[in-house]
Amino acid sequence: MSHIKSMPKVSNTQVDWSDPRLEALLRKTEEWKLDNRGGFPAQDVQIHLGWGASAARKAVLVWEADRVMVLEAMFLIPQGEHVRVDRMAAGGMRTVWGVVAEGREGFREEDKANGVYVHWLHVG
């Protein structure tokens, strides 16, 4: 007897995007503000803005995946700005470069209370 569950069958059913039930469900999600924070151990980092040798500024790395980082900072970084991110890793300094894809004020209550801005970086 096998203990492996069979794979679910794939359906070729078309989605009716004008179905009132689907529209109602999608309306419920319009106000959701997802920002990829919470499931990643936050890490203090130093960032440098632009290509020059600007002074380091404090930020917090709150999420990271393949070529994306999400940072919290106490200031807004303009979209398209080049950012160098320095952090401690494996006993040494690790540096990556990224470009701000999006930045905005945080939506969470603690963000608003502390003046936190959230930034998405594409890293290379």
CA distance 53 to 22: 51
> Residue written as tokens 């069979």?
6
Strands 82-89 and 92-105: antiparallel
Helix (H) or strand (E) holding 49: strand 43-49
pLDDT at 7: 58
pLDDT score for 25:
80
CA distances from 74 to 17, 28, 91, 116 (A): 40, 31, 27, 5
Mind listing the pLDDT tens digit for each residue in 46-103?
999 988 767 899 999 999 988 999 999 999 999 999 999 999 888 899 999 999 999 9
pLDDT at 107 over 70: yes
pLDDT value at 1 more than 60: no
